[in-house]
Amino acid sequence: AQTVTQSQPEMSVQEAETVTLSCTYDTSENNYYLFWYKQPPSRQMILVIRQEAYKQQNATENRFSVNFQKAAKSFSLKISDSQLGDTAMYFCAFLIQGAQKLVFGQGTRLTINP
Amino acid sequence: EAQVTQNPRYLITVTGKKLTVTCSQNMNHEYMSWYRQDPGLGLRQIYYSMNVEVTDKGDVPEGYKVSRKEKRNFPLILESPSPNQTSLYFCASSTQRGASPRFYNEQFFGPGTRLTVL
| DSSP-derived pairing of the beta strands B4-7 and A103-104 | unpaired
User: What pLDDT score does A113 carry?
Assistant: 97
Per the CB < 8 Å rule, is B42 touching A100? no
Substitution target from B109, B113, B114, B115 for chain A, most A beta carbons within 10 A: B109
User: What pLDDT score does B57 carry?
Assistant: 94
Give me the tens of pLDDT residue by residue for chain A, a chain 114 residues long: 789 999 999 999 999 999 999 999 999 888 899 999 999 999 999 999 999 998 889 999 999 999 999 999 999 999 999 999 999 999 999 998 777 788 999 999 999 999
| DSSP-derived pairing of the beta strands A10-14 and A108-113 | parallel
Per the CB < 8 Å rule, is B44 touching A104? yes
Measured CA to CA, the distance from residue A94 to residue B18 in angstroms comes to 33
Q: Which of B41, B45, B109 sits opposite A45 (nearest CB)?
A: B109
User: What pLDDT score does B100 carry?
Assistant: 62
Q: Which of B31, B42, B114 sits opposite A104 (nearest CB)?
A: B42
Spans of chain B, pLDDT less than 70: 98-103
Q: Are A108 and A11 a contacting pair, CB within 8 Å? A: yes
Per the CB < 8 Å rule, is A45 touching B90? yes
Mind telling me how many Å the CA of B81 is from chain A's nearest CA? Answer: 23
User: What pLDDT score does B98 carry?
Assistant: 64
Cis peptide before A9 (omega within 30 of 0): no
